[in-house]
Structure 1
Amino acid sequence: MNADIDVDVRPEHPLSWQAIAANGLLRGTMKPISAVLLRTTASLVVANRIIELGGRLPGLVPPTVSIEQESFGACSGEWVRGSGQPDSDLQELDESKVVLYLHGGGYFICSPVTHRPITWRLSAVTQRPVLALDYRQGPQHKLAESLADALDAYRALLDRGFAPEGIVLAGDSAGGHLALAMLLSLRDNGLPLPAAAICLSPWADLSDERKTANRWADPLLPAGRVEWMARRWTEGLDNRDPLVSPVFGDYTGLPPLMIVTSTTEVLREEAHRVAERARANGVPVRYEEWRKMPHVFALMADILPEARLVFPNMGRFVEAVEAAAKAAGGEVAA
């Protein structure tokens, strides 16, 4: 198996001054603010509005990026193209392939708009358009509706002529959870699987297990609030069902995974457990564990050098999946 697909990567370079500053700032501001806001339905609505306003500030994408709105059944989304525009020094995109991106935010906050710093870069390094899905979220919607939206969007891509081996799933945090749940659901229902999936800081364990790892080390996520959100989101469900907590899933037959996390994340342990479980089930996993990075640090690529370095790794992973498929006799690959 290609070393870019099945490998552990733990960068050891010195922490940038930007990362040190960001960790301190997040620990002193966003973490205590999150501990206050993530407590009631009303406060979640306030948090969502604040984040949405921040996400709409200018400068999140360069002028060479194109964004086009899209709708899929009960939800909407946006096509993000990170190259192929006039005066761009990036290569043209392969419009026969696509990344289906599922944003994070604990299933309560954020949207494709807030995650454009990830989606446009992901489009550029994979040389394909990204469809960022604005799936239904809480508190007014349930997990089953979020999953239904993601599956509907995937089926819509197939109906539009995208070959499954030309589709890559990607997501961060709750979106990483949704990507894993999608893979399990697609396989269990006998539907064609995508070429690969990329999960950034996936929230994979929504069970009632207390999150002890990095409980105090995480510079952004308050562990108690993550546990509270999990209880809210899984109310009335079996929280050890693999579609609810993918960390308990059987990954047999699934395509290659790329999992990115940090040594100090509250969610680090469950991301590592998914990687170990998938490998035990015969799935190649590129597992990247970066030193002392914030949760979903790729979202901070405008300011963190480490975050900018992780995107070429995603591109190499997708390229390696494509090469492996061609070597195995696949005519159309990721």
Structure 2
Amino acid sequence: MGSHLTVAADAEFRAGASVRSQALAFGLKHTVRPLLDVWARLPFDLFPPNVLEHAARLLPAPTGTRWRSVRLEHCRSEYVIGAGVDDVPGSGNVILYLHGGAFLTCGINTHRRMVSRISTAADRPVLNVGYRQMPYAPVTESIADGLEGLNWLLAQGHRIEEITIAGDSAGGYLAFAIARAALDAGLGRPAGVVALSPLLDFDTSSKAVHRNADRCQTFSLRTLVRFGELTHRLDSRRGVAGRRTCPVDMPLIDMPPALIHVGSREILLADAELMANRLVAAGVPCDLTVWDRQVHVFQAAASWVPEARSAIAEIGDFITALDEQQGGATARPAAPQAPTGTARRSAAPA
């Protein structure tokens, strides 16, 4: 196997990296990573404005995308229906999505394009949750907002076994945490979890000794150490220190099946391997796919990078296969019906 795993869980290795994917990796390595290194060296905490989320309002969604705003108690969210997906509110399978951004940046605008493509690939609508982020809220409140999104879907009539929870980067942390929270709250077990380049452990000790400790195109070890310190300081200021458990340390024996995607040079490969190993050891099915030289959350570049399109297709296949594992889910209605509320449709090119 080309994945170089030193854990019990076998990985699928997707060999090959296109010229476009390598150009993206080169660009990130020489722009984003140095900027994050500068941030990590600052003698004070800096929380820049979420410029990416505001700028992303200008990005067109893939052709045929429909969406409407959903107001949860503490945050904005968005119900996204990808091109070709039929939807009758409260009926059939659905995805709960948590965006990445290190709990500091990004949101529903930055992730609308990728979420729409995942919706189309999996043939089901998606609730994209714009959860509260640092420095205004600790990670525990981000988890609470995701659980609120899950409860919103249940209130619409969806059954827990029809809901797949997905997320990228920090959203991968939330996807596992929300599945755990749902089980602990007695809501039942979601259909599955999908995590893309997930951050799953704030402890950087395993990353420091990993072969990718200094190979990642996006994050240095120093950046992740500083990020972990920042989250712990915020937890302490908010009085929630010690109340949060990272996904790799959660009880896993009753968790739903999982799919984890990660790039072969990402420093977060350490988290992905550890989580896959612990899930398999707990008897939980876990598909770990390691993508050759792909960057952090490369799936977001599907309009440009061919491997991203292949990855999204695999995500769709995994989610639809969960229906069979659950013994057959409620069939999706043949006739489309627009959801209630104000909806928008994109006719812009992908």
TM-score normalised over the length of structure 1: 0.88
Partner of 1:153: 149
Paired with 1:112 and 1:35, the residues of 2 have a C-alpha distance of 26
After superposition, the Cα gap between the structure-2 partners of 1:94 and 1:201, relative to the gap in structure 1 and judged at 3 Å, is farther
Partner of 1:72: 72
Partner of 1:200: 196
Paired with 1:287 and 1:52, the residues of 2 have a C-alpha distance of 29
Paired with 2:180 and 2:216, the residues of 1 have a C-alpha distance of 29
Pairwise mapping of residues 33-52 of structure 1 onto structure 2 (< 5 A)? 33-37=35-39, 39=42, 43-46=46-49, 48-49=50-51, 51-52=52-53
Contact (CA 8 Å) 2:62, 2:117: kept in 1 or not?
no
Higher normalized contact order (CA 8 Å, seq sep 6+, divided by chain length): 2
After superposition, the Cα gap between the structure-2 partners of 1:62 and 1:139, relative to the gap in structure 1 and judged at 3 Å, is same
Partner of 2:140: 144
Q: How much identity, in percent, do the aligned residues show?
A: 31
Q: What one-letter code is carried by the residue in structure 2 that aligns with 1:176?
A: G
Paired with 1:36 and 1:57, the residues of 2 have a C-alpha distance of 28
Partner of 1:116: 112
Contact (CA 8 Å) 1:199, 1:259: kept in 2 or not?
yes
Partner of 2:23: 21
Partner of 2:81: 81
Partner of 2:308: 307
Secondary structure of the 2:148 match is helix
Deviation string for 1:272-317 (max 9, x for gaps)?
Answer: 1101101111111111110111111111112111111001111111
Aligned residues: 314
Secondary structure of the 2:76 match is strand
Match of 2:96 among 72, 78, 100: 100
- 1:91 is displaced (CA, Å) by 4.9
State the Cα RMSD in Å: 2.2
Q: What one-letter code is carried by the residue in structure 1 that aligns with 2:166?
A: A
Paired with 1:41 and 1:294, the residues of 2 have a C-alpha distance of 29
- 1:247 is displaced (CA, Å) by 1.2
Partner of 2:207: 211
Secondary structure of the 1:234 match is helix
Contact (CA 8 Å) 1:261, 1:290: kept in 2 or not?
yes
Partner of 1:190: 186
Where structure 1 has 5 or more consecutive residues not aligned to the other structure, the ranges are: 1-5, 84-89
Contact (CA 8 Å) 1:55, 1:114: kept in 2 or not?
yes
Paired with 1:42 and 1:77, the residues of 2 have a C-alpha distance of 28
Deviation string for 1:230-260 (max 9, x for gaps)?
Answer: 2211233666x7x432112221111110111
- 1:94 is displaced (CA, Å) by 6.3
- 1:210 is displaced (CA, Å) by 6.1
Where structure 2 has 5 or more consecutive residues not aligned to the other structure, the ranges are: 1-8, 333-350
Paired with 2:88 and 2:11, the residues of 1 have a C-alpha distance of 29
Contact (CA 8 Å) 1:165, 1:332: kept in 2 or not?
no
